[in-house]
Amino acid sequence: EWYNNYPSQRGPAHKIVDYMKLPKNQLEPIMTNSENIIGFGPNAYAKPATALNILRETVMGRELFDFAFKQYAQRWAFKHPTPADLFRTMEDASAVDLDWFWRGWFFGTDPVDIAIDNVKSFRMDTKNPELENVEARRTRERNEYNIGRERNRAEGIKFAVEQDTSLQDFYNKFNRFETTTASRADFDAFYKSLSPEEQKFYGSKTNFYEIDFSNVGGLVMPLVLEWTYADGTKEVERISAYIWRKDEEKVTKVFAKAKEVTAVRLDPYRETADIDENNNSWPRNYVPSKFELFKQQQSIRGASTGPNPMQQNRTQSQPQSQKQQGTDK
């Protein structure tokens, strides 16, 4: 409540990523005796702060979390609660099953790494010959193309049916993509057989997208998806972590969208502490990495390595005469 833009080093989900991606032999669960912890600061302070932040912002929502936490504070005021009392009270007050969350964040070391493996798009077959024939023509033109035919045309080769047109038969002139009276009549009969509700759905031109997700890291989390549509608009959709209840490794879900989707991004606000953002988007959008050249310098632990920004600014704002006096001393 002091300053909204305070540069906090603990709490926001993405700031725990470097710790959670460490090798397993350098990590311990939060619920570990402090004498057995390697990285006490990240384990005892940063990770619990991040876990509660994610629980409030992503899993439960602010209103429900604040209510449940207030109940915990009132029930255990002037007493000696244990972590288990916090876990039970948060679940009891919110009526939300959080076993998966406590188990993953407080009793495990698995990181969050959920990937978009594959995206398939579908559209309903309209059965309208005027529309389907156009698409069928395009598909055939793509499939019929090959390098041999292209080079034959470039060399100007004349084939038998071109040299002697009498060799051509019915199928040389038949247009299989032309809408016939019979095909149109079949479509009209099909459309009339639909109920009013089916006709309404039929005319909606809904786009279906089947997305395969995989839990690479091992820690299940809600799915936060950002959809980018062909018209430039965006939509954020949130799916509960219960989607993983029958399979914690892989899950597939079908989405129905009124508009055509051009891109899908997982965890757009970096709120789940996902350790690998390269597999969070479709089409793939790789995040460039940087490396830095440095010369190792040994210094006393806790000692300053130079002036801080406030000291630098104070020095720069001094008149030149004062700077010179300081140098002479």
Contacts of 47 (CB under 8 A, 6+ apart): 16, 19, 20, 30, 105
Contacts of 160 (CB under 8 A, 6+ apart): 167
Question: What are the pLDDT tens digits along the chain (329 aa)?
Answer: 678 888 888 889 999 999 999 999 999 999 999 889 988 999 999 999 999 999 999 999 999 999 999 999 999 999 999 999 999 999 999 999 999 999 999 999 999 999 999 999 998 777 777 777 777 888 888 888 889 888 988 888 888 888 888 888 888 878 888 888 888 888 788 888 888 887 777 767 889 999 999 999 999 999 999 999 999 999 999 999 999 999 999 999 999 999 999 999 999 999 999 999 999 999 987 666 666 665 555 655 556 667 888 888 888 877 766 656 655 55
How far is CA 159 from each of CA 17, 98, 143, 145, 156, rounded to the nearest angstrom?
65, 73, 21, 17, 10
* Cα distance between residue 296 and residue 293, in whole Å: 10
**SS3 call for 116:** strand
Q: What is the pLDDT of residue 324?
A: 60
- The candidate with the shortest Cα–Cα distance to 31, out of 89, 105, 86, is 105
Nearest-Å Rg of the Cα atoms of the chain is 32
- Domain architecture of the chain: domains with CATH: 13-107 (1.10.390.10), 114-120+209-282 (no CATH), 125-203 (no CATH)
- The candidate with the shortest Cα–Cα distance to 111, out of 208, 221, 1, is 221
Phi, psi (degrees; rounded to nearest 5) at 260: -75, 135
Q: What is the pLDDT of residue 163?
A: 86
* Cα distance between residue 14 and residue 274, in whole Å: 7
